[in-house]
Chain A
Amino acid sequence: MGKTFAEKVLARAAGVGETTAGMVVDVYPDLVMSHAASWRCIRTLEKLGVDRLYDPDRIAMVMDHTAPAHSAKTAADQKLCREFARAHGIRTFYDVEAGIAHVVLMENGHIRPGMVIIGTDSHSTIYGALGAAGTGVGFSEVTATWVAGYLWMRVPESIRIEIHGPLAWGTSAKDVMLKLIGEMGADGATYASVEFHGDYVAGLSVSERMTLCNLAMEMGAKFAFVPPDDVTRAYLAERGVTPDGYQEVQPDPDAVYAKTVALDGTSLSPQVACPHAVDNVQPIEAVAGTRVDQVFIGSCANAKYEDLAEAARILRGHHVAPGVRLIVTPASRGVLTRIVADGIFSALVEAGALITNPGCGACAGDGGVMADGEVTLSTANRNFQGRMGSYQASIYLASPAVAAATAIRGAIADPREFL
């Protein structure tokens, strides 16, 4: 009987011959990522009275959620992390200038096909864009894995999602995911490993695959996965990772799936997730005209180079509507460097955008929060009540193209008007 990606990758990381969905195994992750939560792990380790780590080379730390520090407490937390990393020889340490952990680690060649990664962040499913198994855990669990090297995992059932393309102009991976989340629900893939297949997926860049895998978490997925191919290999090669540095894991053609879902993307219109749930999804036609106070282009879902380029393409020759704030937070220093080099930065500023330093920014409730009664259209992955400031504010989620069109109109707008 054939095996799914999850069954194969967990068998390897657990050092057992094979696994089947439902089994519980002790898994040794190849990488243990902690972001702004790193200090909580360090304090927990102190409480344990342990100073010995299983393998410092399997630990990555990125200071992303509140960067740079905005309070003496946060500054002290970050200082603790720097000192800890130095003292324990943790070489994969990125400081406040680097950006969002997921994007930083992928851009810098730390994520490779076939790896198992746990992280103190639910959107760790994003690593599936490079054929790796990533999943979120709490800080106690990361601390425990720092020390013990392993954690228990239940081998998940898998859901196969087949997406047919190409998409129409004005739609992108974000619209595909919002459509899927709307149809499957916020728990539509709970505990499952979600595999993305089909001609549309095969034709995507790694950036768009990141958006797919990132958003899979919003239907409850444990892992997300895109089969590694030439696109993956080229992305890795650009970052100095050669094929002898990883072992690709592909699902068998006769693997057993709990469910197969088909989506035809060719007739998809731009999608919007309405307050306060990611599965409260409407086609743009149903919400166009809704007034906004702020547009946020940021987050690990949609603030990569291609996302900002798409927004700039629409914004060029236009200006942000009077009274509307457009906040752009590049996902990483790498993204910032590229948009500065090729003029996208200037185009965004000329259109009226405020560009912040790379990081999680407003998506994590940092720079760019809202007052009572305000409305933001965001390219992020969550619109929960109170996530961006006031509990009495509202968040709509959409693609970078919808965000750009909305910033120009001052109300939710269809990017196809700017064709």
Chain B
Amino acid sequence: MDSRIRGRCIVFGDNVNTDVIIPGRYLVSIDPKELAEHAFEPLGPAVQERLRASQVVVAGKNFGCGSAREQAATCLVGVGIRAVVAKSFARVFFRNAINTGLWAVVQPEAVEAISDGDEVAIDLEAGTVEVKGRRFTFPPYPESLRRILDAGGLIPYLARYVIPQGGTANG
């Protein structure tokens, strides 16, 4: 997988919760495209339109707090978001992001520097976020997480590496 992406940002504040990202009533679906229709619905159609025109979500601290619903990450993938850059993540959202192939990058200074609509470039291999000529670094993911992301998420990873070996870590 290419370790670099470039795209337009949509910026949110602190403590964006899972019920706002994808309301509970839509959890009857696990289809990324269906879920995408309702991503950020509580914030209204103008926000949803900007979301659809973006590839990177930028947020303050504790992004994705609340429920364990994996669809909070799936709906962003469905709408075309490739990465979330935040000051910090709620732990379940972070896992769900990796597990659905969505990049979750912690870089507080970059978040401060990015404005809504900015174009950013993220390099996972190098561990950099670039915006408006400024470059911010973050520690690269551990190898184990990179392998899940590179496979496109936990389920494709499992299918490729774990199942063929008999399904358990010990073979």
Knowing A48-B159, A386-B42, A387-B24, say if A190 contacts B169 (CB, 8 Å).
no
Give how many B residues have a beta carbon under 8 Å from the other chain's beta carbons: 42
Residues of A whose CB lies within 8 Å of any CB of B are 24, 26, 36-37, 40, 43-44, 47-50, 52, 54, 71, 73-74, 77, 119-122, 124, 136-141, 143-144, 147-150, 152, 186-187, 190-191, 220, 222, 277, 279, 364-365, 382, 384-387, 391
A137–B92 CB distance below 8 A? yes
B150 in contact (CB, < 8 A): no
**Docked pose: A149 CA to B167 CA in angstroms:** 8
Which of B25, B70, B144 contacts A139, CB < 8 Å?
Answer: B70
**Min CB gap A280→B, angstroms:** 10
What residues of B have a CB within 8 angstroms of the CB of A119 in the complex?
Answer: 68
A187–B155 CB distance below 8 A? no
What residues of A have a CB within 8 angstroms of the CB of B25 in the complex?
Answer: 365
B92–A136 CB distance below 8 A? yes
**Docked pose: A61 CA to B65 CA in angstroms:** 24
Nearest residue, chain A, Cβ from B24: A365
**Docked pose: A136 CA to B68 CA in angstroms:** 6
Which of A37, A52, A152, A187 contacts B62, CB < 8 Å?
Answer: A187
* Interface residue SS majority, chain A: loop
A48–B163 CB distance below 8 A? yes
A220–B163 CB distance below 8 A? no
B4 in contact (CB, < 8 A): no
Given contacts A187-B88, A387-B23, 7 further A-B contacts (CB under 8 A): A26-B169, A121-B67, A138-B73, A141-B99, A144-B155, A148-B169, A150-B168
Which 8 A/B pairs are nearest by Cβ-Cβ distance? Answer: A138-B70, A136-B68, A384-B19, A187-B62, A138-B96, A122-B68, A386-B42, A391-B42
Contact with A along B39-81 (1 / 0, CB 8 A): 0011000000000000000000110011111100100000000
B61–A141 CB distance below 8 A? no
What residues of B have a CB within 8 angstroms of the CB of A186 in the complex?
Answer: 15, 62, 65
B162 in contact (CB, < 8 A): yes
30 pairs, A vs B, C-beta closer than 8 Å: A40-B30, A71-B28, A73-B28, A74-B28, A77-B28, A138-B68, A138-B69, A138-B73, A138-B92, A138-B95, A139-B70, A140-B99, A140-B154, A140-B155, A143-B155, A144-B154, A144-B155, A147-B158, A149-B169, A190-B91, A220-B65, A222-B91, A277-B15, A279-B15, A382-B19, A384-B17, A385-B20, A386-B19, A386-B23, A387-B19
**Docked pose: A190 CA to B15 CA in angstroms:** 12
What residues of A have a CB within 8 angstroms of the CB of B73 in the complex?
Answer: 138
**Min CB gap A373→B, angstroms:** 15
A144–B167 CB distance below 8 A? no
What residues of A have a CB within 8 angstroms of the CB of B19 in the complex?
Answer: 382, 384-387
A43–B99 CB distance below 8 A? no
